[in-house]
Copies of this chain bind each other. A is one copy, B any other.
Amino acid sequence: MKEEVLLMIPGPTNVPHRVLRALSKPMVGHRSDDFHRCFDEVTAGLKDVFRTKNETYVFAASGTGAMEAALANTISPGGPVLCVSNGVFGDRFAKIAKAYGFDVTPLSFPPGVGADPDSLKKALGEKRFKAVTMQHNETSTGVLNDLQALAAVVRATDALLIVDAISGVLSAPLETDAWGIDLLIAGSQKAFMLPPGLAFLSVSERAWKAVETCKSPSFYFNLPAMRTAAEKSETAYTPALNLFFGLQEALEVITEEGIEASIARHGKLRDAVRAGVRALGLTLLAEDWCASRSVTAIKAPAGIDEAKMRKWVRQQYSILMTGGQGALRGEIFRIGHLGYVFEPDVIATMAALERGLANAGYPVEPGKAVVAAQQVFAQA
């Protein structure tokens, strides 16, 4: 059996060999010119990807750290926050806000359903919020929000717009400046094709005004400290150097493909997976209009132990899918198609899924999913 696992999960994602090699470069001093050059290049590259001129920071942390940073630096205790949620990661914003003693109003949508701009408009009319949090792409339910439309609704108010684009950026259109996103959050282990350990955060001028008067505590994730350090091309605290080296290389991979091409590729991967899964008679959690381009959630067929099926596929083929989170555990399973994933990976996964389901007792006509996926890829 292959030792390397094909990660068909929504992060961590497969890392290109040249990026793996970059990760093993020898260390340099983090307060020396050897690092300053890397810092500048990486910062410029991230701004390109996020389509922003806003200052953009890199924390040694996973994405949740930057979610906390966005809230803790801008909202004071008791501050009213509207937390849009399509699942576990939307709820996470609300949990962070509650941990800091903010006044949280949830605006939750059923699993698999994208956030509705009209509902958002109504909620924003009922109270004056300091900030609105939302996901670009909700990993737990495979939902892509219409961020452009939602952002426009928020921008008609003076609330800060805080967006977790961790599993969305580079898989779906994202315009930080044009759409008026104040705090944009991303992470290394998704479409950036790196191991986990870096969290990214871009900060608008409007957000900086909120930072100035913010009374919540922050230290490791303190934005003013990051801004001061960035003036010297450094981070406030010791950076995760080898992941910076990897990011430098990954940004080259991204530039070579092109941001638009990456988004288009993810659209194709999504369509192929959905076609394959449907050809097997399975039901998708999200409807087409809000289907994620990076992860597809599939309802577990009645009588099939989806966890056992995935485990068998992992053992037989070294292909890893994942289950549901929270209330959806056992109800759905998910196939990630995020980052360094290409047509052959989806085909192999469809074949493995066919075998896995058949082995679990679900009736499968061999080749159905594979052929349906192939047909999508064959289209122009």
Contact = CB atoms under 8 A, between A and B. Distances in A.
A14 interface: yes
A4 B32 CA distance: 14
Interface in A181-200: 187, 189, 195-197
A157 interface: no
A30 B12 contact: yes
Interface residues of A, number: 57
Contacts of A328: none
A220 B68 contact: yes
A61 B60 contact: yes
Interface string A82-106: 0000000000000110011100000
26 contacts: A4-B26, A5-B26, A5-B29, A5-B34, A12-B29, A12-B241, A13-B27, A14-B26, A20-B26, A23-B24, A28-B320, A31-B322, A32-B314, A60-B65, A60-B196, A60-B240, A62-B220, A65-B237, A68-B220, A95-B219, A100-B217, A100-B219, A189-B241, A197-B240, A197-B242, A242-B243
Interface of A: 4-5, 7, 9, 11-15, 20-21, 23-32, 34, 60-65, 68, 72, 95-96, 99-101, 187, 189, 195-197, 216-222, 237-243, 314, 320, 322
